Amino acid sequence: MVDSTLVLNGQTIAYTIYAIVIILLMAWFGYKVTTEGKASVIKAKLFYAFVIFLAVLGVSLHLATNATIPWVSMDLNRANITPDKVIEISVADHQFKLPDDKLVVKKGEIVVFDVTSEDLTYGFGIFRKDGSMVCQMQVVPGHKNDLMWKFEKSGIYTIRSTEYSGPKGHKMVLSDVLEVKE
């Protein structure tokens, strides 16, 4: 499974290029629409082709990510996948309760984080040392919240609530509590 950093970097590059192009396009349009020149409208065929292009673009993004980002299919099929390890975590009164002081998983094994809330809606996110996010899910009370993940890189990770649960929620950080070993 590819590391989520690679996906984030790819997305950053793609969106940055798009943003620069659309800004330049609008600047060009703003200049040209105020200058003398041919004022023809585009032909209907071209317009309809653009409609089809937008439809293909919208759907193909999801098809492409579905085919290339491995955690998508793993997440949708997680009920049929047997994990190597299940870590049960509960949350109540703005506190994570871990089964051990330190969680240890092996690189490459499939692990499920099964998180239960006893009161409010929280978030459950795993973060790298540099603060970037590996993955996250919502933790909704009264429902099963299970995140299946395969770590591709060893290291020490931090768990943090990724959802607002009132003013007390921003302190829900457990630094360096998850270790992924080779």
Near another protein in 99-158, by CB under 8 A:
119-121, 123, 125, 127-128, 130-138, 140-147
- Least Å distance between CB 111 and another protein? 15
Task: Let me know: does 69 contact 4? Beta carbons within 8 Å.
Answer: no
104 or 173: CB nearest another protein: 173
Element (H, E) at 58: helix 44-68
Angstrom distance (rounded) from CA 135 to CA 160? 11
Binding to another protein, residues 10-29 (CB under 8 A): 11-12, 15, 18-19, 22-23, 26, 29
44 or 182: CB nearest another protein: 44
- List the x/- string, 37-66, binding to another protein by CB under 8 A: x-xxxx-x--x--xx--xx-xxx-xx--xx
Task: Let me know: does 115 contact 84? Beta carbons within 8 Å.
Answer: no
- Least Å distance between CB 96 and another protein? 15
Angstrom distance (rounded) from CA 70 to CA 112? 15
Does residue 80 bind another protein (CB under 8 A)? no
Angstrom distance (rounded) from CA 109 to CA 122? 26
